[in-house]
């Protein structure tokens, strides 16, 4: 069978801040990824959630999930324009070419384990990103926050 992955990227460093895996590509899946991101980032306000116009992002269930994230605004790509969502498309291309076996996974449990390993063990902490001057997302964020902490102390 099939399994589906929804991810939420923080565009600053291309870090995966939320993801969910399911055997169904529906609004429950995307809402779970959104909730993980919202809680991972400690319930931020004034942020924008951007997605394509897929039915699972335009549903009432997903609109309710966005509304539950206080201070979050939803944005959507222009119809039929894949360039608007290029960072997410790039993540999926990287995952499929760098990690996912050509024949797929035995079952959803194996897929969940492998996807978690890719995101937490490789993509965030090891994989260099040209967008980040070839730093992994976690390192780019670490340097940003350390620099801001240091400048706050020195000023």
Half-sphere exposure of 113 (CA within 13 A, CB side): 7
- Over residues 83-132, the pLDDT tens digits come to 778 899 999 999 999 999 999 999 999 999 999 999 999 999 999 999 99
* Distance (Å, whole) CA 5 – CA 29: 8
What mean pLDDT is predicted for residues 131-153?
A: 89
Residue 134 belongs to a domain with what CATH number?
3.30.420.10
User: Are the beta carbons of 34 and 19 closer than 8 angstroms?
Assistant: no
Total count of domains within the chain: 1
Three-point CA angle 60, 45, 128, nearest 5°: 95
Contact predicate 74/49, CB 8 Å: yes
Q: Range of 149's domain? A: 4-154
């Amino acid at each position: 069978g099939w399994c589906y992955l929804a991810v939420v990227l923080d565009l600053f460093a291309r870090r995966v801040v939320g993801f969910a895996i399911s055997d169904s590509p529906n609004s429950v899946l995307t809402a779970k990824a959104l909730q993980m991101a919202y809680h991972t980032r400690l319930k931020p306000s004034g942020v924008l959630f951007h997605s394509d116009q897929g039915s699972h992002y335009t549903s009432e269930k997903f609109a309710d999930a966005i509304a539950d994230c206080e201070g979050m605004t939803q944005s959507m790509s222009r119809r039929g324009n894949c360039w608007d969502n290029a960072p997410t498309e790039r993540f999926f291309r990287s995952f499929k070419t760098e990690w996912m076996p050509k024949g797929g996974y035995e079952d959803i449990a194996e897929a969940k384990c492998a996807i978690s390993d890719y995101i937490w063990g490789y993509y965030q902490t090891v994989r260099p990103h040209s967008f980040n001057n070839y730093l992994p997302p976690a390192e780019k964020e670490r340097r940003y926050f350390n620099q801001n902490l240091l400048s706050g102390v020195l000023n």
